[in-house]
């Protein structure tokens, strides 16, 4: 059985992944803001960096100018079925999903429906000495932290990226992911997203059972926003955790 610490590490890793996505999109006000006194408790110093094999938002080379970013791929470049995570293209920089789309709208309702206490946004450390806002909440089940929501907003509150995480053997895990993929984003094709998730989860499950390593689904794109499903575990024997990630930007605008 995987520990509560394992899920907590995955929440922090998702936060670090999301933080990396906002490097160029932060405002000057966000760059100079100071963390509140509790910000260390969100992104603990011992938290691991995102796995090298994970599909990840791009960051600038250490030798390149600070403004350099990887050109975002087209959605057509993404595999059309589940693959090991190291075979997925590197995503571009994430951007605000939609002006006015905030945690106190859809995500607050999602958290309430699943009895997840969603914390207030706090500043966490991001790559290259930056600070970004982050919120998260998780609920323990039978001594384990088995279900969680995490995300990155701008300082003004508009959401850039959010993730829903649930242990693969958690009761109603699929229902939680379906609820999450509804998103409430203006213009989002919720019916299409639900159909995509059903197929994506089947493919991810089959490949994870075969490969016993981190795998990711095909990409779903709607209303200028993309989503993908990841399943990973700390050991090959682990049942693993699903992470449904939803983000603005990251792919070419013509996708």
What pTM, to 2 d.p., does this model score? 0.75
What single string gives the DSSP state of each residue in 46-111?
TPPPPPTTS--B----TTS-TT--PPPPPGGGS-SS-EEGGGSPPB--EE-SSTT-BIIIIIHHHH
Residue 73's pLDDT band, with cuts at 50, 70 and 90, is confident
Partners of residue 57 on adjacent β-strands: 91
Residue 172 backbone phi and psi in degrees, to 5? 65, 25
Domain membership of residue 244 (yes or no) is: yes
pLDDT of residue 115: 93
Output the six-digit token pair for 25.
């999109």
3-state helix, strand, coil in the chain (%, to 5): 30, 25, 45
Output the six-digit token pair for 43.
């992104």
- pLDDT beyond 60 at 118: yes
250 φ/ψ sector (left φ>0, alpha ψ -120 to 50, else beta): left
Domain membership of residue 42 (yes or no) is: no
Domain membership of residue 166 (yes or no) is: yes
Residues ≥6 apart with Cβ < 8 Å to 15 = 42, 43, 47, 124, 134, 136, 150, 152
- pLDDT beyond 80 at 178: yes
Residue 47's pLDDT band, with cuts at 50, 70 and 90, is very low
* Spacing of C-alpha 230 from chain mean position: 9
Give the chain's mean pLDDT: 76
Q: Could you give the number of structural domains in the chain?
A: 1
Domain membership of residue 190 (yes or no) is: yes
pLDDT in tens, 133-175: 999 999 876 656 689 999 999 999 999 999 999 999 999 999 9
H/E segment holding residue 191: helix 190-211
SS3 190: helix
Domain membership of residue 48 (yes or no) is: no
Rounded to whole angstroms, the Cα distance separating 18 from 62 reads: 19
pLDDT of residue 75: 77
Rounded to whole angstroms, the Cα distance separating 159 from 23 reads: 14
Give the closest residue to 107 by CA, choosing from 168, 179, 8.
179
Domain membership of residue 25 (yes or no) is: yes
Give residue 179's domain range. 4-36+55-249
- pLDDT beyond 80 at 201: yes
Domain membership of residue 254 (yes or no) is: no
Domain membership of residue 159 (yes or no) is: yes
Give the closest residue to 74 by CA, choosing from 90, 86, 58.
90
pLDDT of residue 127: 80
């Amino acid at each position: 059985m995987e520990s509560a610490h394992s899920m907590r590490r995955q929440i922090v890793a998702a936060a670090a992944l999301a933080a990396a996505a906002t490097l160029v999109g932060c405002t000057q006000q966000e760059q100079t803001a100071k963390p509140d006194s509790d910000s260390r408790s969100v992104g603990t110093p011992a938290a691991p960096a995102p796995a090298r094999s994970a599909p990840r938002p791009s960051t600038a080379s250490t030798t390149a100018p600070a403004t350099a970013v990887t050109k975002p791929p087209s959605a057509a470049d993404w595999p059309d079925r589940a693959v090991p995570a190291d075979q997925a293209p590197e995503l571009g920089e994430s951007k605000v999903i939609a002006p006015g789309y905030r945690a106190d709208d859809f995500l607050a309702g999602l958290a309430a429906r699943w009895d997840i206490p969603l914390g207030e946004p706090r500043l966490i450390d991001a790559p290259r000495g930056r600070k970004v806002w982050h919120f998260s909440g998780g609920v323990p089940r039978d001594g384990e932290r088995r279900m969680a929501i995490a995300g990155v907003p701008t300082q003004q509150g508009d959401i850039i990226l959010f993730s829903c995480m649930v242990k693969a053997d958690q009761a109603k895990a699929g229902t939680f992911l379906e609820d999450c993929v509804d998103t409430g984003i203006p213009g989002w094709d919720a019916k299409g997203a639900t159909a995509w998730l059903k197929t994506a989860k089947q493919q991810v499950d089959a490949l994870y059972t075969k490969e016993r390593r981190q795998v990711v689904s095909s990409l779903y794109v709607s209303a200028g926003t993309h989503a993908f499903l990841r399943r990973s575990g700390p050991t090959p024997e682990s049942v693993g955790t699903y992470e449904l990630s939803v983000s603005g930007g990251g792919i070419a605008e013509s996708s």
